[in-house]
Structure 1
């Protein structure tokens, strides 16, 4: 629910059993919404999430690699690199005919309506949706108090008609040790999620120096969707890119930050073990696939990698 900032045509609803008054309204753009008496609102077509989250236990900060798994066979190889203009991200996507797997989420502060499926819940437990990722079968919704946070992960079917899983990653937000002066910057958020088979892969990181959290950030965790048990957790400092990809039997991730070493990693998807460590000139921000090529956007350089199956 969000603060109402639109011209409204109000039609009162006679609702019974509600402690909070609700008003049906239409925005100046023609969207039907429900207005609450505390000044918040939601789109009328949104489904409500009533499911209780599974609260994830405190994770390992050193990583927890699963042993006895088969070795990963997939490798990637750098084919080319070229300097970019730093701010030409959209042009890079268009020029290379790439596709992302994110919806644009609403942002009332910037006047952005977004393009989420109609039924998508834009709030959960008082937090707003800050990122929406889709795959062929799933919709991954990340909720936080603001766009710098991401505590809850809600997994729905692609059409946003059914809630499949809900996770609370509050215990993942802060490292057990940190530089006190940097506390305001070290809250780790859910950055990306993907499902293959019965395994959820999810990335958490913050957006400041690794030293601020004593090097304990930027992990990928693999979770069994049936038991909610952690199967493995990567070593730290492997993924603060905006996304990662599952490619054959590896995850392709990126890590980097100002005045730190920057890398593309591949991880064995069965164990979390690092398979390849490939240096790049600056911090990776996006990793997109087209056919057997991986297009990697870093702060000031664009890379092309080939996939070796």
Structure 2
């Protein structure tokens, strides 16, 4: 629908002017109520609590805490097995530790994005995955191709997941991923790397490094 340049540091105006709100909470949120989830023993307070799924999720670098309807920890997913790519560029080893960035539960499935925030070549292209886990068993049901999602959030909408990937001197895309298989269905080129995606009133608002996009939802 539209694309406009932004000032890079004016994210707060993007939220305000478009009446948007990220469905999450962290300790630095001013004016946002604490979702009432307690610290997890051994992990402490979550750095982020996502609120867009069936239940709240506490996001830690290498763990995801699933809370029940009463705000008590119900399940704990250990993601340390996914923290490192099989290989890395010499000298870049300290920069390629992959951490959870966003997670949501929909229909008994846990979806999570995991990656590092440096060049893809540093981990030989093995970065920025979406993964799905069966909630009752903890079994991973699929893992996307690499370089699919390094945004701060993603959006589960109907049969697809809206996410994106981009970085300095790398191609930048918005992606549609099949929710049941993790297969990449569509990719929309962007001018710069995508950071946030929020749906409101039948439109997708996508914040990138220096552009603000609006897409119609079909």
Q: Which range, TM-score by smaller chain? A: over 0.9
Q: Does the alignment pair 1:155 with 2:72? A: no
Structure 2 counterpart of 1:175: 85
Structure 2 counterpart of 1:117: 35
Higher relative contact order (CA 8 A, sep 6+): 1
Q: Does the alignment pair 1:271 with 2:181? A: yes
Q: Give the 5 Å matches for 1:184-195.
A: 184-195=94-105
Aligned-residue CA RMSD (Å): 1.9
- Counterpart of 1:91 (choices 5, 13, 34) is 13
Kept in 1: contact 2:66–2:75 (CA 8 A): yes
Partners of 1:247 and 1:113 lie apart in 2 by 27
Partners of 1:114 and 1:292 lie apart in 2 by 24
Kept in 2: contact 1:135–1:158 (CA 8 A): no
Q: Does the alignment pair 1:307 with 2:217? A: yes
Structure 2 counterpart of 1:103: 25
Structure 1 counterpart of 2:144: 234
Cα shift readout 1:264-285 (whole Å, capped 9, x = no counterpart): 0000101111111111011101
Partners of 2:80 and 2:128 lie apart in 1 by 15
Partners of 1:215 and 1:293 lie apart in 2 by 32
For structure 1, list consecutive stretches of 5 or more residues without a partner in the other structure. 1-78, 144-149
Partners of 1:135 and 1:252 lie apart in 2 by 14
For structure 2, list consecutive stretches of 5 or more residues without a partner in the other structure. none
Instruction: Count how many residue pairs are aligned between Structure 1 and Structure 2.
Output: 218
Kept in 2: contact 1:105–1:114 (CA 8 A): no
- Counterpart of 1:166 (choices 68, 72, 76) is 76
Cα shift readout 1:130-177 (whole Å, capped 9, x = no counterpart): 11111364111022xxxxxx11110103552x2221101001111011
Kept in 1: contact 2:54–2:107 (CA 8 A): no
Q: CA deviation at 1:102?
A: 0.9
Partners of 1:114 and 1:151 lie apart in 2 by 25
Structure 1 counterpart of 2:172: 262
